[in-house]
Amino acid sequence: MAALRTGTLAPDFTLPTIEGEPFSLKEALLGGPVVVAFFKVSCPVCQFAFPYLERIYQSYGKRNLTMVGISQNESRDTAAFLQQYGLSFPVLLDDPGRYPVSNAYGLTNVPSIFWITQDGEIEIASVGWVSKEIAEIGRKAAEATGESAKPVFRPGEEVPDFRPG
């Protein structure tokens, strides 16, 4: 269970992207809901989950929705992770060793993924891998962008219902 539960306000934050540009949650929310996905590069559940988040980003992340990863690793290791898993959505760096944003969100495990509504409320708080929550994020992304829903999981893929983070 995530320390921050659904129905609570998401703590505002500003973090640098992997390219060094500032990213502000408050500013991103002006454009619509935001998906925030915390991870560590060494986490096997993160390695499993993030390609599915990339599918959601590729389908819906270009308008009325922002998706960002928040890495708990150094820039170089994070860049290698993005390349290895084919991730193109923006990734922020949460000062390794201090983890100010991870701590503000009360993280105990990664991946931890939050759907934050445009008014700043956490509507989905997902910890580890929960396939129905990932599918719900995909559904909500389609709704937010006005696109028709596309399946997150492909026929023939072995997708477990749950994997602890």
Residue 126 has what pLDDT?
Answer: 96
Give me the amino acid identity at 58. Q
Give strand pairing partners of 68. Answer: 36
Residue 163 has what pLDDT?
Answer: 93
CA distance 68 to 46: 14
Do the Cβ atoms of 162 and 130 come closer than 8 Å?
A: yes
Residue 61 has what pLDDT?
Answer: 87
Residue 1 has what pLDDT?
Answer: 47
Q: Please, what are the domains in the chain?
A: 14-147 (3.40.30.10)
Please list the helix, strand and coil fractions of the chain in percent, rounded to the nearest 5, in that order.
30, 25, 45
Distances in Å between the alpha carbon of 150 and those of 18, 44, 45, 102, 113?
29, 26, 23, 30, 20
| Number of CB atoms found within 10 A of residue 142's CB | 17
- The tens-digit pLDDT sequence of the chain (165 residues) is 457 999 999 999 999 999 999 999 999 999 999 999 999 999 999 999 999 999 999 999 878 999 999 999 999 999 999 999 999 999 999 998 899 999 999 999 999 999 999 999 999 999 999 999 999 999 999 999 999 999 999 999 999 999 988
CA distance 64 to 43: 30
Q: Which residues have CB under 8 Å from 11's CB, separation 6+? A: 4, 101, 104, 105
Rounded (5°) CA angle 49-51-52 = 65
